[in-house]
């Protein structure tokens, strides 16, 4: 289009309309506020291209966004509705061509150019607020661009060259110290494309505000104590504690306040640990809460609920409808029953005097209380106390105080769940055994001696050797496949092969053979199952197996449990122990109103990240330890009045 084919006219804004021929279909309304602010500040820098229509108006073929910005200014009464707009008036075909050319050759200003432009304006004396108003952007947007302009020259050059991405350049803005920026830049391979790695190196030694101690202390308390936060201008969620030492002190002080409350509750001792765990110097003995007999009112309520459940069970058996809504009613009744039963849970004064509590900060920032722990120096007193109580109970079985007291059952979970849990433990034991020739040798000798001397078999261990099929971890599968591929089929050749191996290699092969002969999965319903559990406990002790490395209590576990078991788990959830009795009761009542699937999801959330293990998966602290279980306590004569 030649200049001669168009004419410049000042046309009232009210006579300008959007052309149906404008080729731009996307983003017509994008950033209209910013464009309007720019026009109000600097005027219209580019004329509109219009085509006269038969109705006396002018159709804007090029400049639709500018027209929208002008009309916004008119609506906001910044300019008049008949504001005279400079326009290039062209013919119909020329208008379509201009629209096409303007949008094809359009090129937005990139971030680097914008950074330089904003920095130049500030250098001329403009404030950040003035720049934001002039370009119609937020103050935060201007601050972000100015932060990028303040990067170390070497990093800015690398950004413009392409050796760092825009996200990485933003990450470097976390600190203002050019020396620190360049030190991190030099330490990383080029090009740098991972912003998270840059933040991690710049913030080395600092912690995020999502850290458990930060959540426990609270940001308001930290800042009130003079602590500073490092905020990422480009990521609202990336906020860091600048003074971890102050945070630790505040956490210790707050945990100390909680310690005083527990001591007032008559516990023998209370220790605090900012880390997770039980602490050190503790005996393997641990007391558990006791249960008093229900009151007359409580027993009446329990009987009423039991009667309703029995009646409902009969009706459900008769209907045989899987999705019968009355199943939900039954779950609620079970939950209510558990609420009433939990009222009888308490700690006796005698136990409190012998035992103590370890307070720590859990992963979610709540206080975790491990109650009923016994110190090493108090172990003999605790054993004597337990022996005296057992001797005074005619219903208790006679047992030497140095031996483990075997419960009737290890777990109260459904049989199918126990089977899967112990199968998970079997996989862990097999994997650990395959890498520990010394313990594998001990298992082998014990099993062979049992067969040769006592003509019996060690339950759960088949060292003839017989392969027990288990879906093992890949590491053990690979070790078995590698060994199987090397073994000659002929017995003479196999013997020669074994005789030619070194002692170390023989032990390594033995470890794999022993490992694949182990199958300790059970349902926890028979005496044989209990014997398997004891064998698994012993092996887990000596193999130092922590099942938290092999199994996690996810939603797929919780949904398989009865509602009464789920509700009982709520009372043992992290953070519940330090609540008052009234607060715990209110929480249990609130959870009891949930449907079973909702309750399972809630319990899964409460225990998420806590490392919770069902009793059947817990590795005993030491062989031969004395453990006081809830089942054992139920056999002990209870005081007439609860301690709390």
Q: How many Å from the N-terminal Cα to the C-terminal Cα in the chain?
A: 93
The topology (CATH level 3) of 119-241 is: Arc Repressor Mutant, subunit A (1.10.10)
pLDDT at position 471: 81
Respond yes or no on whether the N-terminal peptide bond of residue 191 is cis (omega within 30° of 0). yes
pLDDT, position 624:
43
Pick the CATH number of 3-104 from 3.90.1530.30, 3.30.470.20, 3.20.20.70, 3.40.190.290: 3.90.1530.30
- Describe the chain by its helix, strand, coil percentages, rounded to 5: 55, 10, 35
Tell me the pairing of strands 229-232 and 290-291. Answer: unpaired
Over residues 46-58, mean pLDDT: 87
pLDDT at 28 over 70: no
At 641, the pLDDT band (50, 70, 90 cuts) reads very low
d(CA 511, CA 496): 19
Domain spans in the chain, listed from the N-terminal domain onward? 3-104, 119-241, 265-292+344-405, 415-549
In this prediction, residue 170 carries a pLDDT of 82
The mean per-residue pLDDT over the stretch 339-360 comes to 86
Amino acid 637: pLDDT: 45
Ramachandran angles phi, psi of 161, nearest 5°: -80, -20
If you average pLDDT over residues 463-479, what whole number do you get?
A: 75
For residue 141, what are its two tokens?
A: 């947007």
Cβ atoms of 38 and 89 within 8 Å: the answer is no
What's the pLDDT tens digit per position in 198-251?
777 877 767 788 888 888 888 888 889 898 888 777 777 778 888 888 888 898
Tell me: the pLDDT tens digits for 410-432?
777 888 888 888 888 888 888 88
**HSE (CB half, 13 Å, CA atoms) of 326?**
14
Helix (H, G, I), strand (E, B) or coil at 360: strand
Dihedral pair phi/psi, residue 473, rounded to 5°: -65, 150
CA–CA dist 200, 206 (Å, integer) = 9
Pick 140 or 625 by higher pLDDT: 140
Cα 480 from Cα 472, distance rounded (Å): 10
Q: How many helices (H) and strands (E) does the chain have?
A: 28, 14
pLDDT at 450 over 70: no
Peptide bond into 465 cis (omega under 30): yes
């Amino acid at each position: 289009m030649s200049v001669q084919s168009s004419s410049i006219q000042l046309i009232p804004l009210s006579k300008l309309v959007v052309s149906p021929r404008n080729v731009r279909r996307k983003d017509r309304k994008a950033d209209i506020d910013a464009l309007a602010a720019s026009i109000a500040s600097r005027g219209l820098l580019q004329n509109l291209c219009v085509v006269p229509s038969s109705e006396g108006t002018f159709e804007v073929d090029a400049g639709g966004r500018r027209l929208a910005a002008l009309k916004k200014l008119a609506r906001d009464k910044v300019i008049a509705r008949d504001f005279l707009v400079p326009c290039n008036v062209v013919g119909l075909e020329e208008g379509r061509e201009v629209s096409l050319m303007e949008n094809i050759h359009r090129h937005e200003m990139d971030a680097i150019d914008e950074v330089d432009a904003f920095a130049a304006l500030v250098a001329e004396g403009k404030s950040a607020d003035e720049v934001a108003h002039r370009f119609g952007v937020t103050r935060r947007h201007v601050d972000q661009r100015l932060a990028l302009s303040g990067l170390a020259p070497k990093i800015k050059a690398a950004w413009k060259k392409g050796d760092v991405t825009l996200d990485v350049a933003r990450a470097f803005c976390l600190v203002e110290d050019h020396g620190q920026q360049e030190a991190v830049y030099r330490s990383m391979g080029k090009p740098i494309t991972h912003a998270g790695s840059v933040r991690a190196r710049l913030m080395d030694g600092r912690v995020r505000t999502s850290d458990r101690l930060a959540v426990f202390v609270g940001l308001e308390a930290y800042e009130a104590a003079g602590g500073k936060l490092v905020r990422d201008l480009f990521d609202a969620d990336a906020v860091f504690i600048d003074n971890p030492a102050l945070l630790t002190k505040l956490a210790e002080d707050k945990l100390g306040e909680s310690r005083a409350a527990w001591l007032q509750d008559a516990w023998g001792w209370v220790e605090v640990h900012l880390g997770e765990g039980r602490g050190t110097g503790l005996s393997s003995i641990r007391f558990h809460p006791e249960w008093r007999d229900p009151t007359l009112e409580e027993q009446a309520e329990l009987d009423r609920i039991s009667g309703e459940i029995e009646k409902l069970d009969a009706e459900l058996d008769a209907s045989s409808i899987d999705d019968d809504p009355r199943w939900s009613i039954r779950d609620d009744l079970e939950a209510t029953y558990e609420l009433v039963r939990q009222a009888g849970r308490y700690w006796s004064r005698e136990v409190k005097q012998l035992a103590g509590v370890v307070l720590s900060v859990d992963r979610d920032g709540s206080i975790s209380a491990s109650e009923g722990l016994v110190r090493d120096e108090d172990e003999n007193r605790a054993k004597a106390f337990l022996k005296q109580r057992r001797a005074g109970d005619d219903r208790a079985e006679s047992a030497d105080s140095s031996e483990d007291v075997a419960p009737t059952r290890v777990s109260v979970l459904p049989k199918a769940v126990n089977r899967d849990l112990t199968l998970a433990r079997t996989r862990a034991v097999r994997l650990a055994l395959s890498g520990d020739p010394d313990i594998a040798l001990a298992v082998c000798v014990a099993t062979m001696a049992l067969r040769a001397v006592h003509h019996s078999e060690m339950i759960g261990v088949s060292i003839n050797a017989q392969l027990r099929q288990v879906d093992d971890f890949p590491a053990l599968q690979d070790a078995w496949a590698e060994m199987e591929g090397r073994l000659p089929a002929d017995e003479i050749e196999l013997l020669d092969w074994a005789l030619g191996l070194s002692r170390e290699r023989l032990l390594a092969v033995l470890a794999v053979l022993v490992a694949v002969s182990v199958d300790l999965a059970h349902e926890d319903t028979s005496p044989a199952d209990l014997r398997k559990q004891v064998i698994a406990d012993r092996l887990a002790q000596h193999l130092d197996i922590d099942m938290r490395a092999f199994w996690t209590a996810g939603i797929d576990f919780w949904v398989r449990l009865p509602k009464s078991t789920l509700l009982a788990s709520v009372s043992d959830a992290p953070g519940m122990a330090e609540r008052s009795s009234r607060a715990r009761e209110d929480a249990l009542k609130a959870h009891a109103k949930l449907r079973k699937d909702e309750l399972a999801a809630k319990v899964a959330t409460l225990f998420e990240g806590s490392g919770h293990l069902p009793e059947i998966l817990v590795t005993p602290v030491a062989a031969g330890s004395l453990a006081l279980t809830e089942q054992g306590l139920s056999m002990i004569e209870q005081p007439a009045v609860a301690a709390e």
